[in-house]
Structure 1
Amino acid sequence: MKRFIPLAFGAVFSCAPVSSAFAQSSVTLYGVLDNGLVYQSAGGNNSAIRAVPGGLFSTRFGFKGSEDIGGGLHVNFQLEQAFSGQTGAATNPAEAFNRLAFVGLSGNFGEFRLGLQNSPEYDVLQAAMDPSWVKSLASPMNNFNSLIIRANDGISYYTPTFYGLNAKFMVALRDPTTGTGNGLGFYNAVVQYENGPLNIAAGYERGDEPSVGAGGAYTLSGGAIAGAGAVLSVFNAGASYAIGADRVWLAYHTEKLTNSPKYLQHDVYQISDSYKVDPFALVSLMYGYVHDRTGEGNNAQELGLLFEYYLSKSTELYTAVGFLQNRNQAEYTLSGTAYSGLSVTPGTDSRGIGIGMVHKF
């Protein structure tokens, strides 16, 4: 349940204009809790049953606020921290808010943001790529892709929507405490068109020295291993069309990671279908194929199934199933949204099933 805390300092201060402005400010506490169990087998005796956080959504809490300063302008901020719903421990105890920490200004011109932010590709485009929003072990895009999901020192601009069309741009300055050099270290642009049952989006990003997890200016998702001087370039495109209770999805991803211990250059193709059985149940089927462009034949494919049942607007139960087939030296694994899958021997298939419960407040 969201709590709105009005800042009514007008009762203390006698200045009427100040009272009017503060009375239109608000702060919202929000969050997501996702806990579950997963079973995964990656060949031979390599199997495990685990209690996991974040099988479908990353567990987190945050604060967001907006102040109406008049003339159609709003000052906005958002702070967000990830933690484990299994242990209560922060994902990175050294950081008070490791997911979001930005302030910005919005109005008829669109919106500007400054600070730690999600990249537009992660925040917006993934929702157009498959019915899971590229989440859970059932999503091939989640298991095959690398992506810079957020960046420190970000500067972004979101355009207004014109006849269903909008764009989002973001750059990030290099952080001398976590990398080398100065100037721009990351940029990302996304264009999206939504009109009735049709949703189309495409975007490109490039980042220097991305890092997995804590300690870097840019947080990298996927199976990539980035080293010093690494450069990641990614292009994503997705489209979906709804026909009654059914929606068909097509997605394409291509990436290139250079100057790293594991050089990657591949394309991912995915087709999905989601069907709303009734107002409370959604079933999604996803198939994805990754093509290795290095010439080494390290290809892979996955078939995934996701079932979601909504107990209410805030709570759902889910089951995610995935079968992943590696070829040659490919070693992709089945990962949840906020946990890593079992390490696999190159060329080994992987199977998994996860169940969980999500509550949003």
Structure 2
Amino acid sequence: MKKLAFFPLAILFSGALIDAHAQSSVTLYGIVDNGIEYQNGGQGSAVRAVSSGLFATVYGLRGSEDIGGGYRVNFQLEQGFSGVTGAATDPTAAWNRLAWLGMTGPFGELRVGRQKKPEYLFLNGEIDPTAVKSIASPINNFQDVTVRASNAIAYLAPTIYGFTAQAMISLRDQTTKPSNGLRFYNVVARYVNGPFRVSAGYESQGNATGSSVQKVWRAAAGYRAGNLRLYLAYQSERQTDNSEKRDIYEASTSYQLDPFNLVSVMYGYAHDRAAQGKNAQQIGLTYEYFLSKATNLYVAAGLIDNHGKADYTLDGTQYSGIPTAPGAYARGVVLGMTHKF
């Protein structure tokens, strides 16, 4: 009788396991972005094969499990690599871009692990049409910041009446001095009202030796009118040891000509307030032709006018530009193809 009583319970329990398993999902995803680039930095030119000219070339795993009551457990693992050599962007790390575990619910979302800072995950799309990617984006070329943080704890708030916010802290470890305590904190916010968008963020990050702290302010405003988008952005970077004191301004626009063609134009100015004679300005241009929802062809071009001792170069989304002579023009163009899976 005990066996007969247990039998329906076993069936019920196994059914619950099957149902729970059915509510879990793991997705393999990736982007491959390859192209041919020409650059000249005033002390020589280069024609080279590049990967990640517009989008970072990556592959990754994204998973989610519905645990009931409006709660889900999520994770993401992501590795960056070169689509022209196959080499990992950081061979010392198995998942060099993302490695986090978290939970979503009515409270919002909590993530723990290596991840993009809210300053860039959340705000880059508000800054310019490329989301601060490619040689065409002035802020991408002028800024001196890190995009990801390890040992990080992030909170993503739900949207309430068009307003939402994100915050993150990151802890030190054995690779830093001191090896414990708080290394980084960041908070950002965005408000959307119809075609208008306003966002701002602040971050503070200590260096690995604990001898200096970088403080970054960002603000952006945007407006959409049909197929036209307008962007205004400002970024301030300060180092407490006075090695960096820079303001960056950018104005840009994009226009969707039709479902297949997108054109973007960007202008930026970097103002060196540390009196080191490193001011510069840039104009950038991108054109994208969408072959399908997953594949597009693109052209990205940039021209930097370096002043005085400035030697800014044209950086791809996941690679560095060639060396530029101080005070010289840096110019380049990349033709590429992107496929997302």
Q: Shorter-chain TM-score category?
A: over 0.9
1:53-83 per-residue CA deviation (whole Å, 9 max, x = no partner) reads 1111111000011111111110101100111
* Matched letter for residue 148 of structure 2: R
Matched AA of 1:287: Y
What stretches of structure 2 of length at least 5 have no aligned partner? 1-9
* 1:312 lines up with 2:322 in the alignment: no
Shift of 1:103: 0.6
* In 2, Cα distance between equivalents of 1:311 and 1:145: 32
Deviations 1:96-131, CA, capped at 9 Å, x for gaps: 101111111111110001111110011110100000
Cα offset, 1:13, TM superposition:
8.7
Deviation at 1:36, TM superposition (A): 0.6
Aligned CA distance change for structure 1 residues 17 and 41 (closer, same or farther; 3 Å): same
Distance 2:144 2:42 in 1: 24
Larger of the two Rg values belongs to structure:
2
Instruction: State the match for 1:149 in structure 2.
Output: 147
Q: Tell whether 2:110 aligns with 1:112.
A: yes
Aligned to 1:3: none
TM-score normalised to the size of structure 2?
0.94
Structure 1 230/36 Cα, relative in aligned 2: closer, same or farther at 3 Å? farther
1:254 aligns with 2:236: yes
Q: Does 1:276 align with 2:256?
A: yes
What is the rounded CA distance, in whole Å, between the counterparts of 1:284 and 1:12 in structure 2? 59
Change in 2 beyond 3 A, CA 1:314/1:63: same
CA distance in 2: counterparts of 1:54 and 1:239, whole angstroms: 27
- What is the aligned partner in structure 2 of residue 186 from structure 1? 184
SS at match of 1:143: helix
Cα offsets for 1:172-197 (capped at 9, x unmatched): 00012344331110011110112332
Identical aligned pairs, as a percentage? 52
Distance 1:13 1:48, change over 3 A: farther
User: CA separation in 2, counterparts of 1:89 and 1:296?
Assistant: 37
Tell me the equivalent position of 1:203: 201
2:87 and 2:136 map into 1 onto residues whose CA distance is: 26
Task: Count residues with an aligned counterpart.
Answer: 332
What's the counterpart of residue 232 of structure 1?
A: 214
Which residue in the other structure is 2:159 paired with? 161
Q: Verify: 1:344 aligned to 2:324, yes or no.
A: yes
For 1:178 and 1:269, the matched residues in 2 are separated by 33
Partner of 2:93: 95
Aligned partners of 1:304 and 1:322 also within 8 Å: yes
Q: Give the root-mean-square deviation of aligned CA atoms.
A: 1.7
Distance in 1 of aligned mates of 2:210 and 2:315: 25
Distance 1:13 1:135, change over 3 A: farther
Partner of 1:43: 42
Q: Closer, same or farther in 2 for the Cα pair 1:153/1:201, shift >3 Å? A: same
TM-superposed CA distance for 1:20, in Å, is 2.1
Instruction: For 1:105 and 1:355, locate their aligned partners in 2 and report how far apart those are by CA, in whole Å.
Output: 40
Q: For residue 18 of structure 1, what is the aligned residue in structure 2?
A: 17
Deviation at 1:228, TM superposition (A): 6.6
* Equivalent AA in structure 2 for residue 250 of structure 1: L
Question: Is the 8 Å Cα contact of residues 178 and 210 (structure 2) preserved in structure 1?
Answer: no
TM-score (norm 1): 0.89
Q: Partners in 1 of 2:306 and 2:12 — Cα distance?
A: 67
Q: Distance in 2 between matches of 1:315 and 1:175?
A: 40
| Counterpart AA for 1:233 | K
- For 1:54 and 1:91, the matched residues in 2 are separated by 11
Kindly report which structure 2 residues correspond to 1:74-89, keeping only aligned pairs within 5 A, or say none: 74-89=72-87
Note if contact 1:65-1:77 (Cα within 8 Å) is conserved in structure 2: yes
How far apart in 1 are the matches of 2:245 and 2:268?
A: 16
Which residue of structure 2 lines up, in the alignment, with residue 216 of structure 1?
none
Amino acid at match of 2:260: F
Deviation at 1:258, TM superposition (A): 4.1
Q: Is the 8 A contact 2:133 2:140 kept in 1?
A: yes
Q: Cα distance, 1:90 vs. partner? A: 1.1
C-alpha distance in 1, partners of 2:302/2:210? Answer: 33
Q: 268, 287, 306: which one pairs with 1:326?
A: 306
What amino acid does structure 1 have at the position aligned with 2:296?
Answer: E
Higher alpha-carbon deviation: 228-237 or 148-157: 228-237
Distance 2:239 2:298 in 1: 33
Q: CA contact under 8 A between 1:324 and 1:349: conserved in structure 2?
A: yes
Aligned counterparts of 1:13 and 1:312: Cα–Cα separation in 2: 46
What secondary structure is seen at the aligned counterpart in 2 of 1:122? helix
Separation in 2, partners of 1:125, 1:14: 45
Where 2:120 maps in the other structure, the secondary structure is helix
1:14 Cα shift?
4.5
List alignment gaps of at least 5 residues for structure 1.
1-10, 211-226
Q: How many Å apart are 1:39 and its aligned residue?
A: 0.5
